[in-house]
């Protein structure tokens, strides 16, 4: 069994890990990555992923990611054992953690985009009226 994970394998396994935005990580921190994704500059995306992944890992991503990787191993997901080893040994500095943060940032970006579109439809429906302040 190989314990090294390629970037492609990390992305593949991160896409399959059962970790959601609702695991309790700092969405404000994750938004730095999602905003970079929205901007489309790959170097900025990579920089932000490197910058925030260790903090997110230490602040609450570690346990859900490790649990999800263990479940993936039991389910026989390809490369899950190597991904679990990467998460255990490299933690927030590893390829799998970074790929997971990138996936979660893309989900956050999509959630924000959907919210913005719903808000625009509501404003259009009600004539663009601004809500009253209480």
Could you tell me the residue ranges of all domains in the chain? 7-106
Alpha-carbon span 73 to 81, nearest angstrom: 6
Convert the pLDDT of each residue in 10-57 to its tens digit: 999 999 999 999 999 999 999 999 999 999 999 999 999 999 999 999
The whole-number average pLDDT for the span 127-133 is: 66
Q: What's the farthest any 2 CA atoms get from each other in the chain?
A: 61
Helix (H/G/I), strand (E/B), else coil: 134: coil
pTM: 0.85
């Amino acid at each position: 069994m190989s314990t090294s994970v390629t970037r492609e394998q990390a992305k593949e396994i991160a896409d399959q890990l059962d970790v959601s935005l609702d695991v309790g990580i700092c969405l404000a921190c994750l938004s730095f990555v999602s905003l970079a994704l929205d901007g489309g500059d790959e170097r900025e995306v990579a920089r932000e992923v490197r910058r925030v992944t260790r903090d997110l890992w230490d602040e609450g991503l570690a346990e859900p990611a490790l649990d999800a990787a263990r479940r993936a191993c039991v389910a026989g997901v390809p490369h899950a054992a190597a991904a679990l080893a990467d998460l255990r040994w490299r933690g927030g500095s590893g390829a799998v953690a970074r790929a997971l943060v990138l996936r979660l940032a893309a989900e956050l970006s999509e959630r924000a985009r959907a919210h913005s579109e719903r808000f625009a439809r509501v404003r259009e429906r009600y004539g663009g009226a601004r809500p009253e302040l209480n």
